[in-house]
Chains A and B, each alone.
Chain A
Amino acid sequence: EIVLTQSPGTLSLSPGERATLSCRASQSVSTSSLAWYQQKPGQAPRLLIYGAFSRATGIPDRFSGSSSGTDFTLTISRLEPEDFAVYYCQQYGQSPFTFGPGTKVEIK
């Protein structure tokens, strides 16, 4: 089973700042099969990034994904008020298709 570790657990930032979220896989994730989701309280998750780099439909370009080996990064270039939420990574290259524990981005 591929274990995903996200860091930090909580990120305290102000609107307009840059957010960098990390997701590390315990082993290689095939063909960059890594997605990022955003979840706000009481809502279903929303797909942000798939294939490690590709933005989902309707996602603003302030969200970007990158990878280096087993390390994946979600970057929010300038935080908007609606971006404060919990972010999860998920690998879908190998069953079980595991999620990371999440990073909460909160207003400082």
Chain B
Amino acid sequence: EVQLLESGGGLVQPGGSLRLSCAASGFTFSDYAMTWVRQAPGKGLEWVSSLTGSGDTTYYAGSVKGRFTISRDNSKNTLSLQMNSLSADDTAVYYCAKAKQWLPGNHDYWGQGALVTVS
């Protein structure tokens, strides 16, 4: 059974940093691209960042480029998102999601989300 479990969310002051993690199990982690998607309170989904199965190609939304860094440790089946220079606009539930293939694409499994509050 595929499971994705986010951790690391919480309350942070504006300008601060936070690191989210996503522990994956139930599939061959390195075979699939992974993605972070966020959802501000009462708003729609916003794609944040993706990386390929090997982790050597990364993609970022313009709103986070230069502030957020996505990475993965295929030996530990873990996806991470380092978030710096946070502002109130970054307040959201952050979901990690598994792609259906090695390159970023559609996402067949999602975690339950981690709440990040910048205040």
Contacts and interface: CB of A to CB of B under 8 A. Distances in A.
Contacts of A50: 100, 105-106, 108
Nearest to A88: B45
A22 to B, nearest CB: 16
Contacts of B44: 86, 88, 99-102
Given A44-B113, A50-B100, A101-B44, A96 B59 contact: yes
B49 to A, nearest CB: 9
Contacts of B111: 44
B68 interface: no
B45 A92 contact: no
Give the secondary structure class of B's interface.
strand
A90 B95 contact: no
A47 B111 CA distance: 13
A99 B50 contact: no
A92 B108 CA distance: 13
Contacts of A86: 44
A66 interface: no
A47 B113 contact: no
Interface residues of A, number: 25
A45 B110 CA distance: 7
A98 interface: yes
Interface in B40-85: 44-47, 50, 59-62
Interface of A: 1, 33, 35, 37, 39, 44-47, 50-51, 56-57, 86, 88, 90, 92, 95-102
Interface of B: 35, 37, 44-47, 50, 59-62, 95, 97, 100, 104-108, 110-113
Given A39-B45, A45-B37, A90-B45, 8 more contacts: A44-B110, A45-B97, A45-B107, A88-B45, A92-B104, A92-B105, A95-B104, A97-B35
